[in-house]
Amino acid sequence: MLTFTLTNGIRVIHQYVSSPVAFCGLMINTGTRDELESEHGLAHFLEHTLFKGTSKRKAYHVNSRLDNAGGELNAFTAKEETMIQACVMSSDFSKAVELIADVAFSATFPEHEINKEKQVVCEEIDLCADTPSELIFNDFEDLLFQGSSLGRNILGTKRSVNGFSSDDLLRFVGRTYNTDRMVFASTGKISEKRLRYCCDKYLAARSPNLRGFARAKAGEYKVFDRTVKKGTHQCHVVLGNRAYDCNDSRRTALSLLLNCLGGPATNSTLNLLLREKNGLVYSVETGYTAYCDTGNATLYYASSEAGAEKSHDLVMKELARVKTQLMSGFRLAKAKRQFIGQSLIAQESGEQLMQIMAKSMLAHDRFEGSKLLVKQIEAVTASDIMDVANEVFCSECISRLSFC
């Protein structure tokens, strides 16, 4: 694992992998949370328009630069990060680094391209509104962090998106695309000499732009229980609470608990209970997102309206059980082995590993590699799991949102 910092503050992390394919990306510690009230949806809209032209390329040339070599350029926006990434043959690594730097630092946001992209993003907003299993998470987090930018959904509204201009985008970049809050991460068959050359040539040449603002706190949490009539065939439900931030040592125990309850494996407790045993749901899942100063833990299921109340009763009984009964040593060992296996397999994907490395460097200024990850999971005790279950899923602090 190689790490170093460029003269303008951009941090670099690289994992050499003997593969003909390289993954690389620039993660910027900027997202929806960093928008002003008048900028709702701007971070996501900016991500869309980064590829619409630079000071030396038109939109077509940006989009075809890597495509012509069989590669791919992409991006995504989250509440606290924006990622510009590429997948290329290792021989084309320098092209990818140069293009990522070009769109991150030299995008021009032509008005005619912006106007076209507004229609695209409005279509995305409509698509989300037509997908209750996705929309409910946006609305739940809006209520969980009500009154703060952390609660607002990433896409914005049609009204806010249609009001954006090129000047708005340039101002947002100037204020939030700070070089001391950027990490360039890569995996592939790239030597240290070649990596340093590319980073010095295309990234270090950019002028330093240091962050001059602090993120506002999320504010007070108020428990809620709301049902929204959507006229859907299924009743969608999210239960949850605020949870630990990305630096809290309890996050490992919480992650292990949630993986046992509703992780991706078909033998998760709630999948066996709600789907396999009672045939009440098609999907059930848990989730945990850790932010820099807070987090959220959720439990989602979708069932028929007739089965929703029974599903809720079974879920609450299971939560009551994990809060009062210590997990047996045998079951805990199985849970740890499963979670370790899932985590390590995920890191076998070059793209996943690149993103994990970048986010870890942003949050902790280091990469918590597989050895440390395994050590942290192995250190979790049954008492740790019971403690976080009582803190996160206490009866007085858990919230519910239902779409029926």
What tens digit of pLDDT does each residue of 79-110 get? 999 999 999 999 999 999 999 999 999 999 99
By three-state DSSP, how is residue 192 classified?
helix
**Positions in the chain whose pLDDT score sits under 70:** none
Residue 34 lies in a domain: yes
**Are 236 and 352 in a shared domain?**
yes
The answer to whether residues 101 and 179 touch, using CB atoms and an 8 Å cutoff, is no
In this structure, what token pair is assigned to residue 37?
Answer: 């009230």
pLDDT of residue 269: 96
In angstroms, how far is CA 278 from the centroid of its own chain? Answer: 32
Q: What pLDDT was estimated at residue 219?
A: 86
Three-state DSSP class for 54? strand
Identify residue 23 by its one-letter amino acid code: F
What are the structure tokens assigned to 376, written together?
A: 């942290």
The number of angstroms, rounded, from the C-alpha of 378 to the middle of its chain's C-alpha atoms is: 25
What does the mean pLDDT of the chain come to? Answer: 95
Give the structural domain span for 334.
225-403
Is residue 32 situated within a structural domain?
yes
187 and 322 share one domain: no
Per-residue tokens: 147: 């009154």
Rounded CA separation 273/295 (Å): 27
The answer on 323 and 252 residing in a single domain is yes
CATH number at residue 134: 3.30.830.10
Neighbours of 1 (CB within 10 A): 10
Q: What is the pLDDT of residue 368?
A: 78
pLDDT at 215: 94
- Same-domain pairing of 67 and 7: yes
H or E element at residue 376: helix 370-378
275 shares a domain with 180: no
Same domain? 190 vs 258: no
- Same domain? 197 vs 260: no
Does one domain contain both 181 and 238? no
Q: Is residue 219 part of a domain?
A: no
Q: Which residues contact 114 (CB under 8 A, 6 or more apart)?
A: 49, 52, 164, 165, 166, 169
- Return the pLDDT at 370: 86
Mapping DSSP to helix (H, G, I), strand (E, B) and coil, where does residue 160 land? helix
Residue at 31 is within a domain: yes
- Whether residue 398 is contained in a domain is answered as yes
Amino acid at site 226: R
Phi, psi (deg, nearest 5) at residue 10: -70, 130
Note whether 273 and 261 are within 8 A (CB): no
Q: How far apart are the first and last CA of the chain?
A: 49
φ and ψ at residue 14, rounded to 5 degrees: -140, 140
Q: Are 23 and 93 in contact (CB under 8 A)?
A: no
Task: Provide the edge-to-edge strand list for the sheet that holds 11-16.
Answer: 2-5, 11-16, 182-188, 21-28, 82-89, 72-77
Q: Is residue 246 part of a domain?
A: yes
Total structural domains within the chain? 2
Q: Under a CB-based contact definition with an 8 Å cutoff, are residues 304 and 235 in contact?
A: yes
Q: Which of 167, 202, 237 is the last residue of a domain?
A: 202
Let me know whether 261 and 388 are in one domain. Answer: yes
Instruction: Mark whether 179 and 262 lie in a shared domain.
Output: no
Asked if the structure places residue 197 within a domain, the reply is: yes
- Report the alpha-carbon distance of residue 105 to residue 235 in Å, rounded: 45
Residue 208 within a domain? no
DSSP code, position 215 = P
Domain boundary pick from 187, 202, 217: 202
Residues 194 and 229 in one domain: no
Q: State whether 338 and 377 are in the same domain.
A: yes
pLDDT value at position 231?
A: 85
